[in-house]
Structure 1
Amino acid sequence: MYLYAMGSYVPEKTIDNSYFSDITGLSEDWFLSRTGIQTRRKASIEENTHTLAIKAIENLMHNNQIVQKQEIDLIVGATYTPYDTIHTLAHHAQKYLNIYDIPVVSISTACSSFINAIEIVEGYFATNKAENALVVASDHNTAYSDETDKTSGHLWGDGASAVVIRKERPENLPYFKILDIITGGGGGLGKATDSVFLRPINEGFMMNNGKDVFIHACEYMAGFSKKILAKNNKTITDVAWFIPHQANLRITQNVAENLGLSMEKVVSNIQYLGNTGCAGCAIALTENASRYKHKDLIVMSVFGGGYSYGSMLLEYINE
């Protein structure tokens, strides 16, 4: 598989730590020291999960004129903050593109949904049911969060990213060769059931045990990164870039230390975007496109509530 076109979008409105300090009475340094977040983006009242996604698709099409929408024969949407659970994210993308009679699938594995979405594409390709897939990840976290919640209200940002994946090698450069994907679920791990959840009757996100999330996120993002490298006969010294789920800068630093990676090789946007959910690592991949060099090996590793986790190994090709 080959990832050969990308686009992302984040809302214009920026929320800094002083906003949450005024609401909660906690200091700005309290938020910064515990999360690494300085600012986050918040969708306007006119925006939602669907509109964020369409903006990302528009940017993808604008930046990648080689993409022909009529070639897309599969759409997979990834979100855990749906605007509509019936006319889903994937359906809305299909309507926007005006492409019909193709499979459209929307999934939710919390913050690991982007990699799971690409794994679904892999299955369609393997069974010869598709050749060109659009994957769009979009999360409108602020629609579901309680800003007065001192535990997690300050974590969330909104954003979306879209990528096109081909079964066969693209003729145009650059592109990413997807070398491997591995995923897993840990529904019975630790306090997975209640550590972080989103239930309509509870009026939004609840994070009852952030410590359990922290511990397992660090363990599984590092562990699955090592696992995918070993499976492909690679070592950490071969890695040019590491893109983790953008959950918390302290988690990122812990995982990098566990892997023996310099933070100079870590791609991070949580400092200025906040936790943008399953879109975060995809946005990071897109934002940093100018930094990649031919043959760079990239590890993307994610962890989501529930729990879900996984890693993807990419090679950047530009010659």
Structure 2
Amino acid sequence: MGRPQTALAEPERPLEAVREVPPAPARSPYIVGPAFDWAFFLLPPLLALGLGITISGTAFSDDPVRFFGQEKTRAGLMVGSIIHAHLVAVFFRSHGNPAIFRLYPLRFVLVPVLAWAAIRGSAVIAVAATVLATFWDVWHSGLQTFGLARIYDRNRGNPPAMGRRLDFWLNHLLYAGPILAGATMLDHFSSFEGFDAVGMPWLASVPAHMTATHGLWTRAVLAVGGAFLVFYVVASVRLARQGHPPSFHKVFLLVTTGACSIYTWGFNTWGEAFFIMNLLHAVQYLALVWAMEGDRLRERLRLRGRALALALFLGAVFAYGVGAELLDPDLESLWAFTLVVSLMHFWYDGFIWSVARKQV
């Protein structure tokens, strides 16, 4: 989850054009503050893993219950609602921030309408958009951790470009590698099966080909990934000897997120991989958007306290999240809307937070 590509950085515009939340105190190693960072950025991988293990095999995770005509497990409803909630939260950043909105009005108004029309107008585009959303989510989730890691390294006093490319590829390896090589590979590629219904059996056969060659993918990821990890450690030691030691918080975040990803995506021992990884990603993202936009939201609505603004923020995104999760898939226009929200979330993050650029 994803993401955020986040807190991470603002578009490459004059500083006066984009107002950020006040940073942590000078020379602080944190993004927001010790309690906030540990609760919502640093510990979520371990906390999500612990929760996933705890609910595994319980009625909460396994027993289906009917909610408004939809049959779901309580765990499925919980994580599905959180996923949709964090997806729509980007609009507080894109459409809710006047300074950002003025920079890209066509992207924020015209593109979502055109995307919705295209998905509703073509079954092929609808299936392709579903596949795109699945794999864009993987890329986006890796970038979210990358962005947080780079912020912590910057706060440590290291130059923004120092080790940036190493961190970039490490995060994608730690997130996408276990998916390609591990137990949840077929779950990610199953979205291709939708092409069979639109007369494209060659694309619908992708999951079968991936399953048949899974052993090769596993060996390739282990070989390339193992070599890169050795290279990353050697390069990091060299940077430390040159006077640029990595941030402790960055190392903690990368180690815990990487271990969680390998354990859950790679082995899915407890059958809760999607719950664990999406939960940790969504919690980090929601916390990040609130940290960046909370004060602005309160001021725009002329609310007296942050608590009321927080209640409004969480209430709005979770109302959408629950509604989207319980949506009847036969309501194609609304289903297309939720897919557009997903795609816009990934795309908007790419240029609003600018994590993919050499800023953090």
TM-score of the superposed pair, with normalisation by structure 2? 0.24
Higher RCO (CA 8 Å, separation ≥ 6 residues): 2
- Higher gyration radius (CA): 2
TM-score of the superposed pair, with normalisation by structure 1? 0.26
Larger % of helix: which? 2
